[in-house]
Each structure stands twice: as structure tokens, then as C-alpha cells.
């Protein structure tokens, strides 16, 4: 069995399994997995993996987390692999990777696992030599409503809050922010709707931004007792200019699509109805094919981006660390948690 990436979300991977081969795919042994009929196909799902078997394997060994599989007669396996969180999906077409935030029921909001899956997907796309363009989009009316405030974290008395938030908030924000500003492919943010909070901040690292008409950016950090996140204290100043960046970050002011176009943050707006993701993405992909298609050399695209981004890399390394530790100090006070609880309970609504 060959090693297979866990972000090949929308396709099926045919794999030939032979004796004593190794794989990064995790398959757990289960008696009901094998049907004793020649044309039989059995499907079983464990966590992130959906597995189809056909043929007559004699024995399948290994437990979740194991890599070595022995005593397997040759048979055909189709593995539908998903990211750690099904809220983030990845598909490939030619030299383009499309990452979709798929949590429509919560307006694209992400919890810690969701942001980890997003960062993991970005890094795995970055490692593929055949990909030159990454498109990031959402599903539904919103691109992403930011952090999922419905997922509360209560800590028992005596908890070392500094240690707890260092382990969760700091590591998560460092990881996701670095995954975006270090991404070597041409990064396109296809904003199918509003972008809020950390998710909005991360779009500042896109090389091109396309938007639906109802798009706006909202970074309500000061409203929540937080400080700037996701590299916004650097990226927003560069993309929006200092005046609009101050409005967005200090005032927690909503920046509408007209202003985003006027400042150069958004490259182009595509007309579509709210929630018409297919129509919106059809226009985005047509634009990408027209402007960034095969007539442009892939290595040149990424090479030019690397040169453009090089001067700011060390600045972003320093600024991201400064942001997360400033944010850590805010969480230790307990103020952001109180504001999140007010939002989750409906006691507070942001002034849009």
C-alpha cells in the first residue's frame, strides 16, 4: 500500500495492498470488514477514513495509529480520505488546490480542531510540487464567522490559566498564522460572503482576493477584549492602509466590499446571490484560468511571489509572536471568555 495524503478529500484513491507493505493511512482490523463473496464490496468508516474493499483479503492487521500491515493477499482498496476536521475539505484539479471551509450550519465558524485542520491542509498543499495555485473559499452565506463561540471552555479552580492558554490559544494561532504567511503557492481568497475574526485576518495574506457582493470584513477583537490576531496588525496595515486598518482593528468596524475594492484589498467582485457558491466559484475559476492559466509558467508564479514576500518574512515572524503573547495575556485576565459567553448566550451583539 502506498502512502496517501489525508487531504485528498473529494476523490478516491485506488491502492494495491501487498504483503508487509507500509502506509500512512490508518485502517483498523474488524471482522465485519470482509464479506465472503466474490463481487462483494464492504464499506467501513473510522473517524477520518472511509474505506471500500473488494476482493478476498485473507487477513488485515493493524490498529489505529499503526503503520505496518502483514498477511494481506492482494486486493483492491478505495480510500476516501478526509482532513482531521470534516469542516475543512480539499480538492485538486490540475495545478489548482481548492480548500473549502465547510461548516455552513455555523456560518463557517471554526473551533481549535477546525483551524488546525485548515493549517494542516495549507501545509500539505504547500508540499505538493504539482500545485501552483491555492484557492480558499467557504460554503453557504458566509466565508467564515471566525472562532466558534458556542464551544466554551471552562476551567476548574486552581487551573494554571497561563499554561492552559499557552497550550491552546498560542500554539493554535502561531500555527495557523504561520501556515498562511509562509504559504508558497499563489493564494487566492474567494470570499463567498462575510469574513469575521481570525478567519478575516488570515485573508490578508492572500495574493488575490475575489468577493461576492455581500462580503465584508469584521475583526471585532477590541469588542471581545482581545488584541489583533492572525497577523492582522501587519497584513491589514499593508492591505488596507493605516487609516482603514485602524478602523477595522481598533474600532472593530465592519469594512464593506466597496471599501475593500477602493483600498485594493479586493481585486474583483463577482455578482451572485447569497449562498450561490457554485455560481460564485464558477466565475472565480474562470478568472483564475483566464489570468493565471497554463499560459503562465507555474515556477515563475511562485518564484515571483517568493521575491515579493521575502522582505516581510522576518517582520511577520516577530509580529506574530508579539500578537499571540499579547493575546495570551488578555485570556489570562478572563475578559475575552466573558465576552464570548455573552455572544453565545445572546446577551451581546456586535454593533455592525
CA distance 191 to 142: 8
CA dist 104 → 138, 252, 301, 314, 316 (Å):
8, 24, 33, 36, 31
Residues 148 and 30 placed together within one structural domain of the fold: no
Domain span at 35: 13-81
Establish if 268 belongs to a structural domain. Answer: yes
Which grid cell is 200? 478575516
Query: Of 168, 179, 118, 182, which is closest to residue 144 (Cα–Cα)?
Result: 118
What's the N-to-C CA distance of the chain in angstroms? 53
Rounded-to-integer distance, Cα 125 and Cα 91, Å: 10
- Whether 177 maps to a domain, the answer reads yes
pLDDT at 350: 64
Residues 124 and 118: beta-carbon distance below 8 Å: no
Q: Which of 35, 52, 113, 229 is catalytic?
A: 229
Q: Which residues contact 329 (CB under 8 A, 6 or more apart)?
A: none
Q: Which candidate, 288, 283, 270, places its Cα nearest to that of 94?
A: 288
Is residue 6 situated within a structural domain?
no
Do residue 102 and residue 163 come from a single domain? Answer: yes
* Position 57 in a domain: yes
Judge whether 351 lies within some domain. no
Give residue 82's pLDDT.
39
Do 182 and 232 share a domain, yes or no? yes
Identify whether residues 54 and 72 lie together within a single domain. Answer: yes
Q: Are residues 62 and 107 in the same domain?
A: no
Q: Which residues of the chain have pLDDT under 50?
A: 1-84, 352
352 within some domain: no
Residue 229 annotated as catalytic: yes
Q: Among the residues of the chain, which ranges form H helices?
A: 112-126, 161-165, 171-181, 197-202, 232-240, 242-249, 257-262, 277-292, 298-309, 313-333, 335-345
Same domain, 127 and 228: yes
Q: What pLDDT does residue 155 have?
A: 74
Q: Pairing mode, if any, of strands 216-218 and 195-196? A: parallel
Q: Which of 26, 48, 81 delimits the end of a domain?
A: 81
Whole-structure pTM value: 0.76
Q: Is residue 161 assigned to a domain?
A: yes
How many domains is the chain built from? 2
Cα(217)–Cα(195) distance, integer angstroms: 5
Q: Give strand pairing partners of 144.
A: 195
Amino acid at each position: 500500500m502506498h502512502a496517501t495524503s489525508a487531504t485528498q478529500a473529494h476523490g478516491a484513491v485506488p491502492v494495491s495492498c501487498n504483503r508487509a507493505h507500509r502506509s500512512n493511512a490508518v485502517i483498523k482490523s474488524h471482522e465485519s470488514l470482509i464479506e465472503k463473496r466474490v463481487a462483494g464490496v464492504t464499506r467501513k468508516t473510522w473517524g477520518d477514513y472511509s474505506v471500500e474493499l473488494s476482493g478476498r483479503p485473507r487477513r488485515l492487521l493493524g490498529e489505529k495509529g499503526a503503520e505496518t500491515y502483514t498477511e494481506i493477499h492482494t486486493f483492491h482498496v478505495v480510500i476516501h480520505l478526509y482532513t482531521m476536521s470534516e469542516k475543512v475539505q480539499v480538492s485538486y484539479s490540475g495545478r489548482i488546490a481548492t480548500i473549502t471551509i465547510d461548516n455552513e450550519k455555523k456560518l463557517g465558524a471554526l473551533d481549535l480542531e477546525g483551524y488546525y485542520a485548515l493549517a494542516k491542509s495549507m501545509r500539505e498543499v504547500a508540499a505538493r510540487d504539482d500545485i501552483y495555485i491555492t484557492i480558499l473559499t467557504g460554503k453557504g452565506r458566509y466565508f467564515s464567522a471566525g472562532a466558534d463561540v458556542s464551544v466554551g471552555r471552562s476551567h476548574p479552580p486552581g487551573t494554571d490559566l497561563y499554561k492552559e492558554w499557552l497550550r491552546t490559544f498560542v500554539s493554535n494561532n502561531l500555527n495557523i498564522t504561520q501556515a498562511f504567511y509562509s504559504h508558497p503557492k499563489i493564494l487566492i481568497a474567494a470570499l463567498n460572503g462575510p469574513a469575521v475574526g481570525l478567519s478575516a485576518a488570515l485573508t490578508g495574506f492572500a495574493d488575490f482576493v475575489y468577493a461576492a457582493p455581500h462580503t465584508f470584513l469584521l475583526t471585532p477583537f477590541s469588542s471581545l477584549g482581545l488584541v489583533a490576531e492572525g497577523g492582522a496588525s501587519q497584513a491589514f496595515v499593508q492591505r488596507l492602509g493605516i487609516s482603514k486598518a485602524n478602523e477595522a482593528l481598533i474600532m472593530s468596524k465592519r469594512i464593506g466590499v466597496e471599501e475593500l475594492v477602493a483600498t485594493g484589498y479586493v481585486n474583483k467582485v463577482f455578482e451572485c446571490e447569497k449562498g450561490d457558491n457554485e455560481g460564485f466559484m464558477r466565475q472565480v475559476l474562470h478568472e483564475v484560468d483566464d489570468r493565471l492559466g497554463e499560459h503562465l509558467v507555474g515556477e515563475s508564479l511562485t518564484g515571483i511571489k517568493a521575491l515579493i514576500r521575502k522582505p516581510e518574512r522576518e517582520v511577520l515572524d516577530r509580529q506574530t509572536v508579539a500578537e499571540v503573547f499579547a493575546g495570551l495575556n488578555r485570556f489570562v485576565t478572563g475578559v475575552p471568555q466573558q465576552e464570548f459567553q455573552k455572544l453565545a448566550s445572546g446577551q451581546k451583539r456586535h454593533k455592525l
